[in-house]
Structures are given as structure tokens and as C-alpha cells.
Structure 1
């Protein structure tokens, strides 16, 4: 593959290393990227990794499905482009290709066809963008097409080779990036792979928003490097010069947290150095241009363990003013420097690396990169309006010739659009009449602040006429006839129409009110009215139910609390209100004596109790009540019923006993049935009663 630079294809690049003392021209080295390495003839096996690096967009143009390769998820291009057809390359050469190069997407129709990339980090971030092309005789014509490649409205490259790639560092002004192929009538444009990598914004300067990659070389390397060795997926090509001393280390390079360049460890572990400190490493590169600005990035790492000294270097672009810098290398620590300048009158760029003054160690270099500044500030649509039109395209799912920048180049501006005649164009009018549009008017139109005319007539648009149309200050003509709009036209639009500052056409929308005196829009608020009515009916019911529920819960909680006190601590005094809770308001009478009536009660754990309530007419009176309560709180016997609690609250007095479901002793002793109790049982009862009397006495 021929490496490309500055709009031309170069057959070779000369590398001259001169000894400062001898001035010996020692080599010519071809730095053309070997097509088998750079374009992927070495097959990369698919990796079954489950994720892909953050900030990567990898598109296999022409693939039918997504797949993993070498730890990177390559996606089919169906979600990135609306046009073109997929075709395989010739089977004669596809056998050993990387997966990304086995197919192409070609564009036989239209002058401009574009991919739309939407990186998650958005605008004003720096990205590495790489487009790869392998003709592979996909059309069986054996004629390599020639076409132009654009970034937005700016020419990126003229593709005139049959196997290679072009790469740039780009800082977009919009949240999306368009990569467009222009048909120049020299064959059908095609593309194999499109890749985007998010870079750290602090490392590569991108004047005029772009740097085009010229060279990226790993000095002393043996094969090309990319991801995962390089976390940014930069491609490093090897450069070996036999007449230089090579240095290699097996030790790892310390990649500190502050090293944003993240140069591959493998690359930094090899280097080339001169024979001695009196010799300089000098590099010549013929650019074919004497005016372009070039940026050179040098990457160093000391891989020799020096004792008591450090290697100090002087780096300069020969013949450039203020393009000199010094560097001191630390053992196994990376160091990156950059210089920029223009070639000489012959189009030759030269840099040299020599020992700094006073240093006796020869110069060393691990790798370098050369970029050409590319002005990406050609005329284009105002970014916010370009974004707005992308929103309109997405909302209406338009796949007509809406590709690339909406207004530039002017001969390829989007159909239906009129743009202002300026370097940063505004959208002045949109005519999408009879375009089979459905849905609502997209909100992104609100950002077209300079628009004067909007024609959306004869479509199937629905919803209400949006209020944001009122805020378009220059809108003079609005045509919404023959759609399915509902509701009412915003009052401000109608007022502007009456005043003559707006030509408003909204007829043939059967459910749209077009009068300033529209009746109250009941349909608009019908759902709210129905909900309000339902709430008006249900709310009192809900509130009443909650009150009842809350009272019931309080009653249950109180009863549970009483029961817990009675169960945990017997012979406790309780309140009369608690007696009522336990007995369910004295609902069930189970007996009556001289003391008063006895009522049935239950606790929440189903424990049954008998509640003896002192009657106002009781013959025993309060003194007998107190005496019985005191005795039962003190005396405990297995034949004596247990007192659980008592109530002594003014005239309300009660004793709470264990409930005896089989009745009391009197009932059984008085039973005329002699079989109810035997004489021995009766005798035992008499003895037990005597023991109880003894305890009481």
C-alpha cells in the first residue's frame, strides 16, 4: 500500500541519517505502509470478548451482522447510513483478509452519500477517525475508482488507491460527525471500514479542528501495533535502520497517571540510537508542499540503565524558528514532546535529535508521529441549525438526498431547503409539502431562528399546532393545510395573521379550530375533567374509609396492648374502657352471682377470660370486692381459679379470671347425677378446699 499525504500519493519517503562529523548519507528507506500489514492481509481472528472499549465506534461497511474482532465490537453499517449496497470483494483475494475487509458498501446512486456518527462524548472533543478502503475488484471491473472523501462540508481526502486507509484527528463543532463519499465521475465510491476513537483532549492539538495523519512509526519494532497494545487503537508501523544501534528492554515502561498519550509499552521498549554523542539522528521527509503546517510528536523512554547520569537531548525542526526543545530522560518513564513548523521551499520537512550541550550520551528515539494541519472551517450550516435539521430528518425518517451538511456544497444542499448565502449558513425555508410525513411537528424546528417559510402541507401530520412556532421571530409563511391537526391554532399565530405579519394556511384540518374565539377546548381537557369528577366522588369515600380503618386499627392496637399487659404481668389493674374492649362491650353474659354478672371475653391470642362485674345492687359491696381482689393477687393454688386482672375505677369494679369452660365447682357438686363426681373425688375436693381456706386464713 502507498501511504498518502497532503492530497497526493507518494511513491516513497526518504529517511536520511547523517553523522554530524562525517556527513555520510547512509540510507534510503521506504516508509510506505506495507499493504499486507496496514490494510489487513494478516487475518485477525475473532475474539469472543463481551464488551468493547469506551469511546469506540467501529463499523464494518458491508457486513450483515455485528461481531467481535480482537476485543473490538464491529457493527454492521445499517444504522449509520441510509443508502448504498453491500458487496463482497473478489474471492480470489478475500481468503486471508481481516473480516473488516471482506465486504464493501458501494454507492452507485447519488453524488453524495454519508455516514452519520454520533459519539457519546459529543462535540468539542477530539476523535481519531479512520476510513479504510480495499477495492478488491468488488465490481469485477478491474478499475480502481477515484472519489472524494469529506468530513461534513470539508474535503478530507481524494481516494485514488486500491488498498489503504486515511486517518485524521478531528474536533467537531456538532454532536454528530458526517463522513461523506462524493462521486467525481471516476468510478463508484466504496468503503470498507469506518472507525472512531475518542482521545484525551489534552494531547493532540487540532488547529482549525483537524490534523491528518502522515506517519506514525515505531522505531525498532518488528510488526505493526494497534489495539489492544494501543488503547487508542492508533496504528504504529515498524521502522528499522540497520546502520543504527538498536536498544531493547524486557522491562515494563512505567505508564504514570499523567501520561495522557498512553504510548504502547511494546513500542517504547525498542529504540534506535546513534554511535556516539557527536552524531545526530536526522530525518528528512518530502511533503510535496511548502505551505502546510506540520506537527511532529516525539516519543521517548530511557531503556538503558545508566549509572550516575541521565540522557539529555536537544530536539529541533531544522530551519524553523523557535522550534527547538530540550529533554531529559528518566529510566523506563515515557516522555512525549511536540514541535510544529512548515517544510522548506523544496517541500522537505527535517528534524534532528542530538545530545544536549555537555552530554556525552548519544541521542535516542523510540517513535514519532507526523500530522498535517487541515483546515476544517469551510462554509457550513450554523451548527445548531444543522443539528436541528438532523432532528427533522430523524423525526420524519426522511431518506431522500438529505446527506451531509444541509447547505454545503450549495449544488448538493438538501432538497426542499433554502439557505442564506454566507459562510455560516442559516436555514431560511423548508418545503416538505406532499412528502408523506406522519407524526407531530418535531421540536427541533424551534432552533431554526432565521427561518422565514415553513410548508408542511398535504401530509398526514397529527397532534396540535405547537406553541414553539410562535417563537420563530422571522417566520412569515406557515402552510399546514391538508393534515390531521387537532385542537386550536395558537392565539399568537392567529393574531400575527390578522395583523398581516404572517401568511397562515391551516385549512382542511377537520378537527382544528382556526378562530380567535374558539370554544373552550373540552376535548383537550376532557380526560382531566373526568379524572377530577371521579376524584370528587371517590375522595370522600376514601377519606371516610381511611378514618374507619384508622379507628379500627387504633382499637385493635389498644386491645392488643391491654392483652399483652395482662398476659405478661398478671394481677394488673386495668381501666374500665379496657374491660369493654376485651368483652366486646359486655356482649355475652355467662353467669350471675351475689357479686354481679359474669361476662365472657377473649384476648387476641384466643385466650378466654371471665369478667365478674360488680353490680350497683350487689349485696357484697366494694369492701368484699377489694378483699377478694387482694386475696387472689396473693394466694395461688392449682385448685383456685387464677386472677388475671382487676378494675377499680369509681363505681366500675371488675375481676378478670381464667375462663372455666366446664362451669364452676358448685355446679358439679349440686349435680344430682351421682356419676358426675365419685365419692373419692368429692372427698379430695373437700381436702383441697380446706387447704385453700388455710392459705386464706
Structure 2
């Protein structure tokens, strides 16, 4: 019995170090940058790992907590040698699509009241120039990307033109987007490998002030399961619609929109009017846009009554050019429209107009907009991930020891 206890303790100790292995929880790696003194941290039923498993340089700092800032954003890692390339090395288990998200909350951690501007890199290519004063709260950068190999770096570096400011980072996430190749409903099916798709907007219409957050429990299978955040988008002059809840309706459509998104929508007051949604891109230079529009209807529980036996016929325009026709017929009907590539510049105007012969006014439930950039291939290397691989091997060996001890094999 004492031998068994010793072996189990060995497994437990190895398992603590194996926390750096990315995909042990729902295909999501969550890193709390600057977290010290703990193996893992639990916040909203989600597990976060300390970043010491993934990077060596830099110093850590704790920020005074704020009621409007999540616990995860109150620690950070900063890099005094700002002009160096300071890199997190992530070991992935697949080279399919991932959502990469980096969070930054300055919080005047250095007492200088000078939020820095610095560059963020993915796979050796510029991801974004981070302006940490762009918002009063945390700033997030997010993109969808299919790496060419299973080791990828996320790096930070100061810029001379901005005074070689000290880069910092508060959180880092990588979420594997399982394509389910045996399914008719894939995830971002038109996104190409080797191309990075930078998030511009992910909007929930008709949902008032509710931010749709990633699901945090197995019982929430009908909600957001791909670690996305949907921002509420109030639209003055339109009617908010709320549809009757049904069991996991979103899983029947591409990109698996959560029920909380497709069960709300906006609509004009009559069938002859259109919906207009402007989207501002970060630069005025021409961009190749990836646009996803979500349409869904069911029996209305909040909003003007409609005869859903009639056809809702809509035309989708981007900057005045007709791109797609959408028809919704009957209860529990929907469609996901993906448009790519669409050349846009500055502000893009999305218009959903009534098509000829429609009885019901147009509607819009949700929208995602990205712009595309090409990333060069990053060489595969084990640099910086030895602790990860070694820990995983240790866990496997320990489990084998236990199995042998118990006579299971």
C-alpha cells in the first residue's frame, strides 16, 4: 500500500509540471502571464496556466485589482530589454485552425502613466502593433490562423519610433478549432492555411448589453464552445427580436454560433426597409475581408408578432454590391453566409435589404469580420518547449508504472 501511495504521489507531482501541455482541457490553452506561486489558476471554472512554462525572459508584476477588470488581467510579464525579441513558444498538437488571442492591461503597473506602444508577432511575422492606451480597460488582439508546423512563437518587441517602449502582456490563449471533417458544418471553411485572419468585429445583434462569453461548464453545450467573445451591438432605429430557445440550434450551422447569438436579432419596422451596419477597419489601405453573417428565425417571444409561414427574402450588399440572396422559410430556419475575399477600404458598409416578393422584413442575428494577411513559414524547433515535452513523457511513464503495479497490463 505504501508503494502504491508513493507511485501515486509521483504521478501527481509529474502531472503538476505537465500543466504546460496545451490541450488537456477542451482544446484550449489559457496562459495567465505573470502568474507566480501557483501551478494553475481557476477563474470562472476555467483553468489558466502560469506563463513560466512557456517563456524565460522578462519580469512579472501584480496590478491592483479593479471591479471592471478580470482577475486574469491583474498580472503581467514585462520585458525591460524592449528591443529584444521576447518569445513565448507554444507546442501545438495539430496544424489546423486556431484562435490566438493576446490580452494587455497596462494598469499603470510601472507608475509612469505612459502606456507603451510595441509590436506583437506570430510565427515570426508582425501580428499587430499594440497600443495599450487604446481603451481604458484591457486591449485584446485576436486572429484565426492555421500554423504550418506544431511549434509556433508569439513574440513582443519595442519599436524605436515609439521610444523603444517596454513591451508587456497579460494573457495569451490558443484554441483549436476542430473542423469535424465528417460533418456538413465546418468552422470557417473558407479560411486558407498560411493566411492569418485578424478579428475586426464579432457582433451580437438584438442582445442588448449582454457579452456572450465562452462556455464554462459541460452543461452549457448549446452556448459558446470555441472560446469566442461576442460583443453586443445596439442599433438605434431597429426593433430587437428574441426567439424561443431551442436545443442547440446553432450546432446545425457553420461555425457553431451559440444559442445566445442566434436567438436574438435586429429588424426594421416594416418589410420595405433595410438594415445598415458600418464596420471600421484599422487602416484606410485596401484590405481583403472575410465576412460571416448569421441569419436565424423562430417563434418570437419578444418583439412584434410575425407570420413565419411567409418567406423572409433578403439581399446582402457589401459597399453597394449585391453579394448573396438569403431566404428563411418557416420556424427554426437559418443560414450562415460567408463572403471571402472581399476587397474593402476604410469603412465597409453592410446592407441587408428586402428582396422582391418578400413579406417579412430583413433581419440580422450576428456578424464576424476579419481582414487577411499572409504569414511566412516559421521553422519547426523544440527550443523553449523541452519542459513541455519532458513533462508529458513523465506523465506517460508514471501512468505506465501505476498500471504495471496494479496489474492492469
Q: Which TM class, normalised by the smaller chain length?
A: 0.7 to 0.9
1:191 aligns with 2:165: no
Quote how far apart the aligned CAs of 1:364 are. Answer: 0.5
**What is the correspondence of 1:358-397 to structure 2 with a 5 Å cutoff?**
358-377=357-376, 380=377, 386-387=379-380, 390-391=381-382
SS of alignment partner, residue 342 of structure 1:
strand
Contact 1:254 1:332 in 2 (8 A): no
Give the alignment partner of residue 91 of structure 2, picking from 118, 121, 125: 118
Instruction: Describe the superposition over 1:201-260 as per-residue Cα deviations: whole angstroms up to 9, x where unpaired.
Output: 332233452100000111111221111131111111111223111111342265265434
SS of alignment partner, residue 140 of structure 1:
coil
Structure 2: how far apart are the matches of 1:226 and 1:103?
21
From the superposition, tell whether residues 370 and 393 of structure 1 become closer, same or farther in structure 2 (CA, over 3 Å).
closer
TM-score calculated relative to the size of structure 1: 0.45
Structure 2: how far apart are the matches of 1:393 and 1:249?
49
Give the alignment partner of residue 227 of structure 1, picking from 205, 210, 214: 214
Corresponding residue for 2:196? 210
1:272 aligns with 2:247: no
Structure 2: how far apart are the matches of 1:172 and 1:267?
29
SS of alignment partner, residue 359 of structure 2:
coil
Quote how far apart the aligned CAs of 1:161 are. Answer: 2.3
Instruction: Describe the superposition over 1:528-585 as per-residue Cα deviations: whole angstroms up to 9, x where unpaired.
Output: xxxxxxxxxxxxxxxxxxxxxxxxxxxxxxxxxxxxxxxxxxxxxxxxxxxxxxxxxx
Corresponding residue for 1:153? 124
Give the alignment partner of residue 295 of structure 2, picking from 294, 300, 307: 300
**What is the correspondence of 1:487-526 to structure 2 with a 5 Å cutoff?**
none
SS of alignment partner, residue 128 of structure 1:
strand
Aligned residues: 331
From the superposition, tell whether residues 75 and 330 of structure 1 become closer, same or farther in structure 2 (CA, over 3 Å).
farther
Corresponding residue for 1:138? 109
Structure 2: how far apart are the matches of 1:159 and 1:250?
41
Instruction: Describe the superposition over 1:458-510 as per-residue Cα deviations: whole angstroms up to 9, x where unpaired.
Output: xxxxxxxxxxxxxxxxxxxxxxxxxxxxxxxxxxxxxxxxxxxxxxxxxxxxx
Higher deviation after alignment, 227-236 or 286-295: 286-295
Structure number with higher strand proportion: 2
SS of alignment partner, residue 374 of structure 2:
coil
Structure 2: how far apart are the matches of 1:393 and 1:77?
12
Contact 2:89 2:385 in 1 (8 A): no
Instruction: Describe the superposition over 1:329-386 as per-residue Cα deviations: whole angstroms up to 9, x where unpaired.
Output: 5523442111231225xx3311211222211210011111111112213xx55xxxx2
Deviation >4 Å, runs of 4+? 392-395
For structure 2, the 5+ residue unaligned runs are 1-22, 180-185, 216-222, 301-306, 388-409
Structure 1: how far apart are the matches of 2:337 and 2:61?
44
From the superposition, tell whether residues 355 and 304 of structure 1 become closer, same or farther in structure 2 (CA, over 3 Å).
farther
Structure 1: how far apart are the matches of 2:355 and 2:288?
26
Structure 2: how far apart are the matches of 1:392 and 1:67?
26
Quote how far apart the aligned CAs of 1:166 are. Answer: 0.6
SS of alignment partner, residue 343 of structure 1:
strand
User: Considering only aligned residues, what root-mean-square deviation do their CA atoms show, in Å?
Assistant: 2.3
**What is the correspondence of 1:207-356 to structure 2 with a 5 Å cutoff?**
207=192, 208-221=194-207, 222-228=209-215, 229-252=223-246, 254-255=248-249, 258-287=252-281, 288-304=283-299, 306-320=307-321, 323-340=323-340, 341-343=342-344, 347-356=346-355
**What is the correspondence of 1:516-555 to structure 2 with a 5 Å cutoff?**
none
Structure 1: how far apart are the matches of 2:91 and 2:324?
39
Contact 1:277 1:354 in 2 (8 A): no
Corresponding residue for 1:200? 178
For structure 1, the 5+ residue unaligned runs are 1-50, 398-697
Structure 1: how far apart are the matches of 2:330 and 2:148?
39
Instruction: Describe the superposition over 1:103-160 as per-residue Cα deviations: whole angstroms up to 9, x where unpaired.
Output: 100111261001111222x22x000110000001111111111110000121010011
Structure 1: how far apart are the matches of 2:348 and 2:256?
26
SS of alignment partner, residue 359 of structure 1:
coil
Quote how far apart the aligned CAs of 1:97 are. Answer: 2.9
Structure 1: how far apart are the matches of 2:204 and 2:246?
16
Structure 1: how far apart are the matches of 2:176 and 2:35?
23
From the superposition, tell whether residues 232 and 254 of structure 1 become closer, same or farther in structure 2 (CA, over 3 Å).
closer
Contact 2:243 2:297 in 1 (8 A): no
Contact 2:244 2:299 in 1 (8 A): no
Structure 2: how far apart are the matches of 1:350 and 1:216?
15
Contact 1:255 1:333 in 2 (8 A): no
Structure 2: how far apart are the matches of 1:376 and 1:176?
15
From the superposition, tell whether residues 256 and 165 of structure 1 become closer, same or farther in structure 2 (CA, over 3 Å).
closer
Contact 2:274 2:351 in 1 (8 A): yes
Contact 2:295 2:336 in 1 (8 A): yes
Corresponding residue for 1:164? 139
Contact 2:80 2:166 in 1 (8 A): yes
Structure 1: how far apart are the matches of 2:260 and 2:24?
21
Structure 2: how far apart are the matches of 1:355 and 1:220?
19
Structure with greater contact order relative to length (CA < 8 Å, sep ≥ 6):
2
